[in-house]
Amino acid sequence: MARVVVDVMLKPEILDPQGQAVQRALPRLGFQGISDVRQGKRFELEVDGPVDDAALARIHELAETFLANTVIEDFVVKVEDAEGSEKVAGAAK
């Protein structure tokens, strides 16, 4: 079983009050040197069968129609390897 990750983030031009709240709190908590924070959603999908181009195309469609609101959000589809590192397989910006 393979894991595909869909990251959904607000588009850069959309205000992100959650991220701003985190970023403003950091210096107060003693963490310097972080100039921007944006917060988004991460979906981990366990895929039955092989993660081939057809499966990735389906997941791209799923992300576009169902997981992300593409008016205000960008999404990236990534394939996770055994170590947990992730490679981009497709994106919509």
Number of residues binding to a second copy, judged by CB under 8 A: 41
Task: Pick out residues in 10-49 that bind a second copy (CB under 8 A).
Answer: 19, 22, 25-26, 29, 31, 33-49
d(CA 59, CA 5): 9
Report the residue number, 41 or 69, with the smaller CB distance to a second copy: 41
Cα-based distances in Å from 85 to 3, 27, 64, 73: 11, 29, 23, 23
Closest CA to 22 of 45, 40, 3: 40
Query: Where on the chain is the footprint of a second copy (CB under 8 A)?
Result: 1, 7, 9, 19, 22, 25-26, 29, 31, 33-49, 55, 58, 62, 65-67, 76, 78, 83-88, 91
